[in-house]
Structure 1
């Protein structure tokens, strides 16, 4: 048992170290700022590097070409990329890899896992949901970084199963809107006559894959809030007012201590949920763990990020100061794969203390 724990700890440490090559903590924001509001919003070369590192297939079984690791590793990776503000669509790419691993198109799966192709899943038909209706002719909304996609995956309901189709992004009817963090979101009006069927039924996979995506997004939020807090502490320790370091003011110390508690509680919820999923939990147990973590990450994350802006004073509200980039990113991802409200309601409905 101890050896297994040591192996997992080492695996997580290596994942965190590898993230530094793409999004180093404390690195400058030149790359991130240069990519804001560009046509795709992210760097294709960096995306390919992420694929080469095996990140998109972390949770994909080894026999399907993935790394066969767990959510503890995926959450740790997401945390580091959140702290580094990497704009590349990590979580959407991981979701697509999970779905393609259940299909028959080995070439498309290989391209998605290696990062040679940007494959995004267009599953959402309305705001704030984790349900996949799979309506064939319904517009698919809120597709993150859709402007950079090579292929869209379309879950389509057929009687009691959900088939998966691949639609080339070239020539697709997509409306792109700019997001406040410099990225973009897309609305796709799908034409199945141009699509290729790549899986007969992903119904058993997609529910779990969306839960995993929600948890990985919680990891992103944890990284955002933790790094913004680190920046805020550094500011409080150097900024002077009335001849004193403002970090010595007791009222600001109390506020900083409160934020530290929120970060600690978020980390506990996220890492606990990852351990639950890695233990093989299914159904209500898995869903409750994910919802507890996502609710905590979204709600506490926005509280911490907003407070960090306020603790910086006027400079925190300027676009030139980096702490504001973290708030903008948090505002974009906080509702992806379910808002705090949705996950709070789901957690309460599941009554996990009654689940065996």
Structure 2
């Protein structure tokens, strides 16, 4: 990449970060997030529509498909900013569905999804902690994020060695809803194939690639959350006094804070490296290794950083009224989405040429 191209890319990412301020103002309060917890559907449909109008749902789609034609680096930058603000709107699963529908030739509800007028969820997961897509026609599909607000489900189904794609209106097959730690919802769907409409004969190459991107973008969201929680903790350490001294001057706490800062920095480096690799056209094992390294680190680091941030706050950190605890709740929900740290470490060990060497 030339210097001019690098400058253009940096400007594009900066503009994406700035646009996120309309939804998640830097340093803003979390009253909106708190008000949406434990409510159906768990997010603001009006704000989700605004995300569509801003081009976020189709950020990765080519312009001829109604998208913005931007890269993984831009999508990760956007997700990071949304993670700072704990934005609950299901942008990541919606963007995944947009990519799958684009692979199906733009059929079905793609235009209204890109506009943010409906929520389309891809029901691909048949068991816990996997990125495999068995495509069993009658099998229940699990762990559908914010499923209480879904208008359509996409069902990948194995047919004759290919992965066909079906569309199922949510009104024809209502999912079972469970509450999550952060106040959102997860759904389990028992497919009613008699009510489904076939959209494509084969999306077998597009879906695994879209799942990898969703895993990486989720890692970026987790990065934004842990970095904001860490920033809140540093502010607290600089202000809180004990025994007549600012507790941030205590060497033991300084060492713990330095370790957390390193965790955040290493996670950022891993995510940015993976995004750059995908944007440069990495394929096959190289692509999977880059994604898995980033997602494994983000999943582990986000839980470690947010837990220690609560401990460093002392008793107040354990109260629900104090915002830092919301970041731990979010990390607990999202760390395992699109593969846990254990799954991605295992996959990295399998596909990485670095390990083989």
**TM-score band (shorter)?**
over 0.9
SS of equivalent residue, structure 2 residue 188: strand
Task: After superposition, give the CA deviation of every residue in 1:138-172 in whole Å (9 maximum; x if it has no partner).
Answer: 00000000000010111111122111111111131
Task: Count residues with an aligned counterpart.
Answer: 356
SS of equivalent residue, structure 2 residue 12: helix
Any stretches of 5+ residues in structure 2 without a counterpart?
none
Question: Which residue does the alignment assign to 1:115?
Answer: 116
Question: Which residue does the alignment assign to 2:270?
Answer: 269
CA distance in 2, matches of 1:87, 1:354: 37
SS of equivalent residue, structure 1 residue 156: strand
CA distance in 1, matches of 2:323, 2:119: 28
Question: Which residue does the alignment assign to 1:143?
Answer: 144
Give the TM-score, by structure 1 length: 0.98
Question: Which residue does the alignment assign to 1:72?
Answer: 73
Contact 1:284 1:355 in 2 (8 A): no
CA distance in 1, matches of 2:331, 2:279: 26
Report the CA distance between 1:301 and its aligned residue.
1.2
Contact 1:147 1:186 in 2 (8 A): yes
CA distance in 2, matches of 1:146, 1:107: 19
Give the TM-score, by structure 2 length: 0.98
CA distance in 2, matches of 1:318, 1:354: 43
Contact 2:286 2:352 in 1 (8 A): no
Contact 2:172 2:195 in 1 (8 A): no
Question: Which residue does the alignment assign to 2:301?
Answer: 300
Question: Which residue does the alignment assign to 1:46?
Answer: 47
CA distance in 2, matches of 1:300, 1:26: 22
Question: Which residue does the alignment assign to 1:330?
Answer: 331
Contact 1:164 1:198 in 2 (8 A): yes
CA distance in 1, matches of 2:355, 2:40: 49
Report the CA distance between 1:351 and its aligned residue.
2.9
CA distance in 2, matches of 1:56, 1:355: 38
- What's the C-alpha RMSD, in Å, of the aligned pairs? 1.2
Task: After superposition, give the CA deviation of every residue in 1:164-205 in whole Å (9 maximum; x if it has no partner).
Answer: 111111131310000010000000000011111112211010
Report the CA distance between 1:13 and its aligned residue.
0.3
Contact 1:126 1:141 in 2 (8 A): yes
CA distance in 1, matches of 2:59, 2:356: 29
1:283 and 2:287 matched: no
Task: After superposition, give the CA deviation of every residue in 1:14-42 in whole Å (9 maximum; x if it has no partner).
Answer: 00000010111211111000000101000
SS of equivalent residue, structure 1 residue 173: coil
Question: Which residue does the alignment assign to 2:82?
Answer: 81
Contact 1:285 1:355 in 2 (8 A): no
Q: Structure 1 residues 171, 49: closer, same or farther in 2, change over 3 A? A: same
CA distance in 2, matches of 1:245, 1:198: 62
Question: Which residue does the alignment assign to 2:166?
Answer: 165
Please give the residue correspondences for 1:1-356 in structure 2 after superposition, counting only pairs within 5 Å. Answer: 1-106=2-107, 108-353=109-354
CA distance in 1, matches of 2:290, 2:356: 12
Contact 1:173 1:190 in 2 (8 A): no
CA distance in 1, matches of 2:352, 2:116: 40
CA distance in 1, matches of 2:219, 2:123: 20
Report the CA distance between 1:107 and its aligned residue.
5.5
CA distance in 2, matches of 1:2, 1:264: 24
CA distance in 1, matches of 2:198, 2:95: 20
SS of equivalent residue, structure 2 residue 157: strand
SS of equivalent residue, structure 1 residue 124: coil
Task: After superposition, give the CA deviation of every residue in 1:52-85 in whole Å (9 maximum; x if it has no partner).
Answer: 1111111111211111111100100000000011
